[in-house]
Structure 1
Amino acid sequence: MHRPPTAEADVADELAVVRPGLVHRYADELPGARAAVLTRLWRGLAHEPLPWIVRREADREGFALRLADGRRLRGPHADPYATGAYVTAVRLDEAVYDDPARLMTELAVPHSAVFAAELGHSVASLALSRAGAGHPPKWPARDWEWEQRVVDGHPFHPNCRSRPGFSVAEQLAHGPEHGPVVELALVPVPEAGCLVTGVWPGWLREPGRVVVPVHPWQAAHVLKRTGERRLAAHPLMALRTLALPGGPHVKTALSARLTSSVRDISLGSVAASAVLSDFGEAVAARTDGLLHITRTLGAVAAGSPDLAAVLRESPEEYTAPGERVVPVAALATTGLPGSPAWLGRFARLALTVGLRLLELGVALEAHGQNLLVVLSPGGDPVRLVYRDLADLRIGPARLARHGVPLPGQLPARMVTDDERTLRRKLFGSLVAGALAGTAGSGPALRTALESAVPHLPRTRDLTALLDEPLPAKALTLMRLSPRTAGDQWAELPNPLRYGSR
């Protein structure tokens, strides 16, 4: 076996200074963190269209990949819908690797060095997250407490916890899994130089100025500002989005690469935020109460994506007494998905809403972070809440067929009539993402879909979901293709057939 990469040792050294009581727990968590990241990486290697893999072969002992240079990489059977850490080691020719960063370094394919460093960060940060995670109640009372229960990050991305640019002290101070209260900087800027949409509240205004909430990491590392007034908030799983006590959620700019993307707020998204919010409400009204969209209250950009913020309603606005609203990513912590009947009901609800909107011409980015489910007092899934409209895809021709006007001022990237693009957006996020992550395995996902399908709207999109391979973002390929803009895709085995042999 190969030894930990430098990132692991660096985190241990810094942890010994800033939180020495966590050092032993961190060390204990490292093997599991390596396996969790290696499992995600192995999924990508086994199923994504990587140009340097020329053949894939399954046998009774596992799965083998033949590389273009003649080397052979072997590991266990790769369930593309499984979560957890079932891959503890793989073999590259005769060498065994239990460390994803070391494996990627040894593969030595184009752009692998940078990706290997990210994998090292992901392992170290995941071990730190597990070691320092707080202990919110099993059935939290507040929305932000649910967010803190998601410790491992993205269920399928190898960079599930990669936070390069964040020190150990900053991860402990800002990561939601650690349960901190974050002090947002309040930065006043001249209103004349700002783009403001919606209603920016009076408590974030001064005479002639707009006050922008800024993430403390952004204030320190990008804006180089200190000394402003502060506002306490609870970080959500998106890290840059925080819940204000008793109030709305605030999405801040964060110019750091987390998982795949740099988290700024584009000027185009600020300009379109009010229009999109109204549009989202209008299309959600066509779901017979099964879906609510969290409204954007106001948005501001002070001349740059680095200094911008968006205020949104809390999803709690859409709950009745006794109900809870839970991010789909946190459902696994409740134990509810362990019931096939419950999982089938949830799949039916989510797919009914997703397919109805897709038929109208709206493809949701319905992954486990954007999509939330409202649970009855008894734990039944009763309706959905969707937040963050910035990554919708909207089809004008479909809208026109249903008499829905296309809103103006939308970013061009959001508008397309390409059916493949629309289906990829919904199916890749909802089925290959939210539902698969909740189910936890291909067989469980298949059972849930079989339960839901007889009750779903009979559309051409449903036919495509039943008959074609399932699209999923090629997360590993994208990190190894830094010069290729936009999403890249893999085709996974159709979950309704997965495990049927």
Structure 2
Amino acid sequence: MAITLSSWQRLSFFAPKRRGSQSKASPSPVAALDEKDAQEPRMGYAVSETSAATAKLSSEQRAAFAVTSRLLASFVTEALLRAIYIPSEAEDYAGLCVIFASVKPSSSGAKTVAGIFAVVPVHHVPILKEDNAVWLLDPLDMLPNILFFGDEAGELCEEFQRRNIATCLRAAHWTVDDASSLRTTLSPRFWWTRFAEDAAMEVSMRDTLLEEIASSFMWQKAIYDRLPFLPALGASAIEWEQSLVEGHPTHPMHRARRTLPPLQPLTPATRDWYRPKVRFAVVSRSRVDIRGDFEARILDLVKVAAAHTGASLPEIPPDRLIMPVYDLQVANIEDKFPDVQILPESISIQTQAQASLRTITIPGFSFALKLAVGIKVSSALRTISHYTANVGPRLSEEIVPKLAVDPEVLYIERETGSAVCMRDMDGNTVDEDIAKHFTAVLRDPYVPKEDEAVVLVAALGETGHANSPAGVSAAQQILGLDTREKRVSFFDEYTRLLVDAVVPPMLHNGLAFEAHPQNTLVRLSRSTKRVRGFVMRDLGGLRVHAETLRASTGTDFQFLPGHCVVTASVEEAAKKLYHTLVFNHLQRLARSLGLHHDGSGWGLLRKHLEAKIPRDSWLWNVWLSEDGAHSVSGKCLLRMKLAGLYRDSVYEPFPNLIQYRPS
């Protein structure tokens, strides 16, 4: 059944009662572990307090918090709203993150509840600036009870809750004349609308982004309704790809799967994203830019598809070729390329989708196929630009073998072929926003060695699987990291090898991999469970300082004019590596192992970076300098949405997690 906006507009949350509580309403401003859970060490596993608390909620409430927590984190970390941290003596939470309703301080300096946007209980102190201003708020800092003063939504808090919150605020010199209007709700619709009204946002933008938020909620709830199982270490790579519970850790539209016309709206009842079909189209050869071995491999694929169903494959004239099409994308091809011949659905093949959804694998074939599809997944429309189709196969052949990479540590998946329909029937160049709908890229996946498991890194930090204890990450369970010593040892080896993998090409070649957890696979020994190395994929997301790349490889490699991967400096390219490697990849893993808040995980990362990066280098100045590297240019995903951007990034000063040393 589809989840409508009205169903989640009414969401409210009351924390689970502690044992022995006789209260009829919400006895605590947080959803804490019950007494038995709190007393059991779970064999020494690090337990995410946020994940353990949300595990007690209904799937609807969990999905609401998953979206709302990411929204609030984006408001604060991207400096859209100011926030301060107020410590508390309460048993259930470390303090309150108080988010202001306006980014500008009050001219009078008075602090009243009228100026509060939200009050968020947190279980640890978030990363702060001066005067207890919150600099980085993460969804995993929060506990699932978001509070506000007002009367427009949610549920009233119990009297003693109101008293506790008011006492905490007054201790921080807030004027709280009356706390009777303190309410609670997890509704993403409420929090987005509250923000949009406060920001005087245009109605069209407010409603468009609200639809994406609604989509994210709907698809996240569907996953909570039918939780995936945690695979065993030796499971296939595709099982790991499809094991994600939440996915992107901070994007406010992290689970959005929003179709755009002419595609029809979809619901969890009508779409299984992990099992798409590949359809086929016949197009004039003169219209298509082809690279690598694309044509021969796709011809083999379509022959198998026809043979599997017993369908008759029509004769293809020499001046035409076959293009694969993601099944949902057929409507877009018919709309934007009306003269293209779509083969009947009987000539199609069932596939398995990776975590990205648009990259699929086919049983019996050695390649993966990345296909354009006109849906918005989190940040962008998941089509494929002609820039990506052009650069991947050429980089794979001309540049990848010459990079400063240790092949024992890092394997880079080659993109061996591509095709993009760049011209119309008259030979005129098609607008790039049309061409991106009819593009495909071939990629050769890594083949595991003997005694080797290959695991999607995004899966390691996930919690909440159907067969897992609440709040315990996948990495701890599959690798037996049941003591702090084991977790520290694992993270130490992991960061050492990861630094060895991705820092040299940044430092020497001016090339930044898009090393986020969905693009990175970790190679693990099945017998020892130790890290052997990594696999990196998706060459379309790189950032490259072209002059440094050419000089270091001795190759006069040329990019298409206007390609967004080319940067004006190596420092600009390094922004991509910091965001994907440090802010996204390693922060999530460190938090999932209990090594973030005490700074121990970041100390290990510093150790390995200091061993790899020369003190007199530009990268040392950007990341490790004691003088000027305490902040970095942080990528602002929500600001990008507000600006209508997906290729060009928006940055704000973020705390440099490499330098994080909690006091």
Mark yes or no: TM-score above 0.5: yes
Contact (CA 8 Å) 2:359, 2:370: kept in 1 or not? yes
Establish whether residue 34 from structure 1 lines up as the match of residue 64 from structure 2. yes
Q: Match for residue 432 of structure 2? A: none
The residue type equivalent to 2:322 in the other structure is: V
1:177-188 paired onto structure 2 within 5 Å: 181-188=275-282
Q: Match for residue 158 of structure 1? A: 252
Establish whether residue 362 from structure 1 lines up as the match of residue 511 from structure 2. yes
Deviations 1:138-157 (A, max 9, x none): 23532211101113121111
Establish whether residue 76 from structure 1 lines up as the match of residue 137 from structure 2. no
Q: Match for residue 353 of structure 1? A: 501
- Distance in 2 between the 1:413 and 1:4 partners? 37
- Distance in 2 between the 1:307 and 1:126 partners? 29
1:41-440 paired onto structure 2 within 5 Å: 41-50=71-80, 53=81, 55-60=82-87, 61-68=95-102, 71-73=115-117, 74-77=119-122, 78=126, 80=136, 82=138, 84=140, 86-94=142-150, 95-107=183-195, 108=197, 109=199, 110=201, 111-135=205-229, 137-165=231-259, 167-169=265-267, 173-176=271-274, 181-205=275-299, 206-208=316-318, 209-220=320-331, 223=334, 227-228=344-345, 229-246=347-364, 247-284=366-403, 286-303=405-422, 304-315=435-446, 317=447, 319-332=448-461, 333-335=474-476, 336=479, 339-360=487-508, 361-377=510-526, 378-399=528-549, 402-410=552-560, 412-440=563-591
Contact (CA 8 Å) 2:216, 2:254: kept in 1 or not? yes
Residue of structure 2 aligned with 1:468, choices 606, 618, 630: 630
Deviations 1:458-482 (A, max 9, x none): 2331442233324432112222222
The residue type equivalent to 1:342 in the other structure is: F
Deviations 1:37-83 (A, max 9, x none): 22211211121132xx3x43222132223233873222234564755
Q: CA 1:288–1:234 in 2, change beyond 3 Å: closer, same or farther?
A: closer
SS of residue matched to 2:657 = coil
Deviations 1:224-262 (A, max 9, x none): 657241022101100111011132110000111110111
SS of residue matched to 1:76 = strand
- Distance in 2 between the 1:451 and 1:484 partners? 33
> How far is the alpha carbon of 1:306 from its aligned partner?
1.1
Moved more, 58-67 or 142-151: 58-67
Give the root-mean-square deviation of aligned CA atoms: 3.0
Aligned length: 475
> How far is the alpha carbon of 1:197 from its aligned partner?
0.6
Moved more, 461-470 or 120-129: 461-470
- Distance in 2 between the 1:216 and 1:400 partners? 40
Contact (CA 8 Å) 1:443, 1:499: kept in 2 or not? no
Q: Match for residue 613 of structure 2? A: 458
The residue type equivalent to 1:131 in the other structure is: D
Q: CA 1:292–1:141 in 2, change beyond 3 Å: closer, same or farther?
A: same
Contact (CA 8 Å) 2:515, 2:580: kept in 1 or not? yes
Gaps of 5+ in 2: 10-54, 88-94, 107-114, 128-135, 151-182, 300-315, 336-341, 423-434, 462-473
> How far is the alpha carbon of 1:264 from its aligned partner?
1.0
Which structure: larger Rg?
2
Deviations 1:253-307 (A, max 9, x none): 0111110111111122222222121245224463253211111121011232111
- Distance in 1 between the 2:497 and 2:514 partners? 16
> How far is the alpha carbon of 1:373 from its aligned partner?
1.2
- Distance in 2 between the 1:484 and 1:374 partners? 31
- Distance in 1 between the 2:258 and 2:245 partners? 17
> How far is the alpha carbon of 1:496 from its aligned partner?
4.4
Contact (CA 8 Å) 2:372, 2:382: kept in 1 or not? yes
Would you tell me which structure has more helix in proportion to its own residues?
1
The residue type equivalent to 1:324 in the other structure is: A
Moved more, 294-303 or 87-96: 87-96
Contact (CA 8 Å) 2:389, 2:418: kept in 1 or not? yes
The residue type equivalent to 1:351 in the other structure is: V
Q: CA 1:403–1:170 in 2, change beyond 3 Å: closer, same or farther?
A: same
Give me the identity figure in percent: 23
Q: CA 1:112–1:167 in 2, change beyond 3 Å: closer, same or farther?
A: closer
Q: CA 1:186–1:299 in 2, change beyond 3 Å: closer, same or farther?
A: same
> How far is the alpha carbon of 1:320 from its aligned partner?
0.8
Gaps of 5+ in 1: 10-24
> How far is the alpha carbon of 1:500 from its aligned partner?
1.0
Deviations 1:139-188 (A, max 9, x none): 35322111011131211111110112274556763323xxxx32211222
The residue type equivalent to 2:416 in the other structure is: L
> How far is the alpha carbon of 1:8 from its aligned partner?
5.1
TM-score calculated relative to the size of structure 2: 0.66
